[in-house]
Amino acid sequence: MALPIAVNAMGGDNAPAAIVEGALRARTDGIDVMLVGRREQIEPLLGGAPVEVIDAREVVEMHEHPATAVRAKRDSSILRAAELVAAGRAGGVISAGNSGATLAAALFAIKRIAGVARPAIGASFPSEAGQTFVLDVGANTDCKAEWLAQFALMGDVYAREMLGIDQPRIALLSNGEEAEKGSELVQAAHPLIAALPLRFAGNIEGKDIFRGACDVVVTDGFTGNAVLKVAEGVGEFLFASISREARASLSGRIGGALLKPRLRPLRDRIDYRKTGGALLLGVAGEVVIAHGRSDAEATLNAIRVAARAQERGVSSVITRAMSTAPSAQPAQPTGVSA
Amino acid sequence: MALPIAVNAMGGDNAPAAIVEGALRARTDGIDVMLVGRREQIEPLLGGAPVEVIDAREVVEMHEHPATAVRAKRDSSILRAAELVAAGRAGGVISAGNSGATLAAALFAIKRIAGVARPAIGASFPSEAGQTFVLDVGANTDCKAEWLAQFALMGDVYAREMLGIDQPRIALLSNGEEAEKGSELVQAAHPLIAALPLRFAGNIEGKDIFRGACDVVVTDGFTGNAVLKVAEGVGEFLFASISREARASLSGRIGGALLKPRLRPLRDRIDYRKTGGALLLGVAGEVVIAHGRSDAEATLNAIRVAARAQERGVSSVITRAMSTAPSAQPAQPTGVSA
C-alpha cells in the first residue's frame, strides 16, 4: 500500500502557499500527502481539506550552511519530513527549500544505502528522443572515479524503473567522444563503467544530452551543475529573446500570438522546475529536490515523481543492485558538499 | 600596417570550398588574406582573385591525435599557417580543422607568451546585455588554480581590447554564488583572482553567463567545454522544436512564417560557429579556432575576429599584462591536452 508523500511546506521561494496548493492538487490526483512545517501557517491554507499536518517549528533558510543548519535545527521542517520516511510513515519526501539541506537531512535521517559511497542528484533534460537523465547535478562537487561508476549503476536503475527503458544506454560526459578523451577523473571512470553489467555507450559531449543519443549521462556534481544551469540559462535567454522579437513588429506580434500556445509546452519541457525536480539517488528512501522557485504546478510534479519512485521502489532496487554489483564500494564516511 | 590573415584552407568539414569562399569575402571586406594548403585544390576556387597561396602538402585530419600529428606532419597546412605568423608574414591565423592541432601548431610555431603557464581558448556567448566571454572552453582539460588566475588576466585583456569594455567584470564559474562554494579548484582559484588588479565579480553560476551579469567568465577547459556544448545542444534542440511546432498546424505555419525572419539572427547568435569561433589566448600571435562545421560566413567571421585581434594587438597587450602581473607564473613545460 502506498504511503503518503511528506511535503516540506516551508521550503522554497513560494512557501508555504504554493507548496500547499501543489500538495492539495496532488491529493486531488489521488496521491496521499502529509504537510510538514509550522501548523499555524499551513492549516489556514488547507481550505478544510483533511490533510495531515506534522508540526515542525524551525525552517532551514536558503542562505544557511546545509549540514550545519540541519544538525542545529532538530525541529526543522526538512529534517522532520525526512524522519517520516525513515520511520516508515511516509513513502517519500519532497522539498523546494535549501537543496543542500534536503541532501543533509536525507543522509542524516534516511541514511545512505549500504555500499553507496555518495548519493547523487539526478535531473531529466528534454531530448529529440524524449528525455535524458543526468547525474550528479550537484550533490558532490569533487568526485572520485568509483563514485561515477556507482552513479552509472544508480542511473541505470532510474531509467529502468522510472522511465521503463529495458536496457538503458549509459554514457559518460566528456570533452570528446573518443575513449581517451576527458579529464583525469573521466579517464579513470571510463574503464570502471565499461566493466559494469550495463549498456555503456562510452563518452558523449554536452550537446548529445539534447540529441537523445543515450538515456543516462554520468558526470561529477560540479560539471553536472554547470550543465543544469547552462541549460536553464540558454532556455531563459532564448525564450526571452523570442518574446522580444515577437513584440518588435506587427508581423512578429501576429506570428508570436499564433505560435505562442505551441511554444509554452516546449518552454516547460526545458525548465526542470516544471518537470518535477531532481531525484536523490543512493539514500534508503525516495527524496525529490524541487526547484527553489517551485510554484504549485512544479510542486505537484515533484510529488508525482516521489509517488512514482515509491511505486517502483527505486531505492529498494538500488539497494539490491548495490549488493550484487561487482564494483560496489565498501561504505565510507560521507559529508555534504552541496 | 596590417599583415594578411593566414587561413588554413584545408581545415574543417567544408574545406576547401567554403573556407576559400569565406576568405574571398573577407578580402572584399578589406581584410588581406593568405590561403594555406594544397595549391592545386585552392587555386581553382579563387576565380582569378589575386590571393597569395602558400603551398602545404599535408593535412591534419579531424580524428588524428593533435600534438602527434602536428609533430609528424611538418608540411601540414595548419603548421605552415602558424609558421607564417611566427615569421611575421601573417598577422594572425584561422583554422576550422582539428582544434587540438591548431592549438598544438600555435604552441609549436608561435610559442607561448612568457609567463603564461597555459594558453586558453575563449568563446563568446550571447547574453541579455550583449555578450559574455568564457575561457577556457577546451584547451586545458585538467587545470591548476594558478592557470585560472591567468585566464582571468587574459580574459580581462580580451574584454578591454576586443569588446571595448573599460573595466570588465570578471567572474569565476562555480556551483553557487557564495565565495565558499565550488570545487577544490574553484575554491583555490577564488582568492588568487581576487588578488589580481581587475574587477572581480566573484562566483557565478552557469545560467548567469546568459544574463549578462559579467563580461568574462573563467573556468577550466573541461567545464568550459561542457558549457559550450550544452549551449549548442540546447540551442539546436529548441530551434528544431520550434520549427516542428511551426509546421504542426495551420496557425503554427502562419505564425512560424511571420516570425522566422526575426528568429534567424537569434539562432545565429546562439551558434558560436556564426560568431567567429574562439580566440586562443596566451600565445604570441592571434589564433582563431573556428568551428569544424564552418561555412563561408563562419569563416568570414573568424577572419574578422583575427583581423580585429591583430588591429588591437591582443597578444602584445597580454604579453605586457603578464610581465607586470603579480601572479604571473614562471614558464613551465606545457603539453597539449585538448
pLDDT tens, N- to C-terminus, chain B (338 residues):
699 999 999 999 999 999 999 999 999 999 999 999 999 999 999 999 999 999 999 999 988 999 999 999 999 999 999 999 999 999 999 999 999 999 999 999 999 999 999 999 999 999 988 899 999 999 999 999 999 999 999 999 999 999 999 999 999 999 988 888 899 999 999 999 999 999 999 999 999 999 999 999 999 999 999 999 999 999 888 888 888 877 778 877 887 787 777 777 777 776 665 667 899 999 999 999 998 889 999 999 999 999 999 999 999 999 999 988 765 444 444 444 43
Residue A326's pLDDT band, with cuts at 50, 70 and 90, is: low
CA distance A40 to chain B (A): 33
The secondary structure of A121-152 as a DSSP string is: EEEEEEETTEEEEEE-SSS-SS--HHHHHHHH
The rounded distance, in Å, linking the Cα atoms of B156 and B318 is 9
B223 and chain A in contact, CB less than 8 A:
yes
| Residue A205 binned pLDDT confidence (cut-offs 50, 70, 90) | very high
Q: Which residue has the cell 560566413?
A: B297
Q: Three-state SS for B63?
A: coil
B259 touches A: beta carbon within 8 Å:
yes
Write the CB contacts of A110 (distance below 8 Å, at least 6 apart in sequence): A82, A85, A86, A283, A284, A285, A287
Nearest neighbour of B235 by CB, restricted to A127, A234, A256: A234
Question: How far is Cα B135 from Cα B162, in angstroms, rounded to an integer?
Answer: 14
Name the residue in chain B with its Cα closest to that of A221: B175
Q: What is the DSSP string of B182-240?
A: S-HHHHHHHHHHHTSSSEEEEEE-GGGGGTTS-SEEE--HHHHHHHHHHHHHHHHHHHH
Cell 550571447 locates to B126
Name residues whose C-beta falls within 8 Å of residue B59's C-beta, 6 or more positions apart in sequence.
B10, B11, B37, B38, B73, B76, B77, B97
- Which residues of chain A make contact with B266, given a CB cutoff of 8 A? 238, 241-242, 245
Distance of alpha carbon B6 from alpha carbon B102, whole angstroms: 12
Q: Determine contact, residues B204/B178, Cβ cutoff 8 Å.
A: no
Compare all CA atoms of chain B with the CA of A261 and give the residue at the minimum distance. Answer: B252
Taking the Cβ of residue B2 and every Cβ of chain A, the question of whether any pair is shorter than 8 Å is answered with: no
Spatial contact of A187 and A199, defined as CB atoms under 8 Å apart: no
CA distance A175 to B224: 9
pTM: 0.90
Contact across the interface for B230 and A227, Cβ inside 8 Å: yes
Query: Is B234 an 8 Å CB contact of chain A?
Result: yes
B residues 280-309 lying closer than 8 A (beta carbon) to A: none
A 103-132 residues with CB < 8 A to B: 126-128
Q: What is the dihedral of CA A206, A207, A210, A212, to 10 degrees?
A: -90
* Averaged pLDDT of chain A: 91
| Assigned C-alpha cell, A181 | 578523451
Helix axes B184-194, B145-161, angle to 10 degrees: 50
- B238 — contact with chain A (CB < 8 Å)? yes
Contacts of B122 (CB under 8 A, 6+ apart): B133, B134, B135, B136, B137, B154, B155, B158, B278, B279, B280, B281
Q: Provide the shortest C-alpha distance from residue A8 to chain B (in Å).
A: 23
* Cβ–Cβ contact B145 with A under 8 A: no
Nearest-neighbour CA in chain B from A210: distance (Å): 6
Q: Are A92 and A298 in contact (CB under 8 A)?
A: no
Q: Which positions 180-219 of A are in contact with B (Cβ < 8 Å)?
A: 182-184, 186, 205-211, 219
Asked if omega into A16 is within 30° of 0 (cis), the reply is yes
Q: Give the pLDDT confidence score for residue B250 in this predicted structure.
A: 80
Query: How close A241 comes to chain B (CA, Å)?
Result: 7
Cβ–Cβ of B229/A206 closer than 8 Å? yes
Consecutive H or E run containing A173: strand A169-173
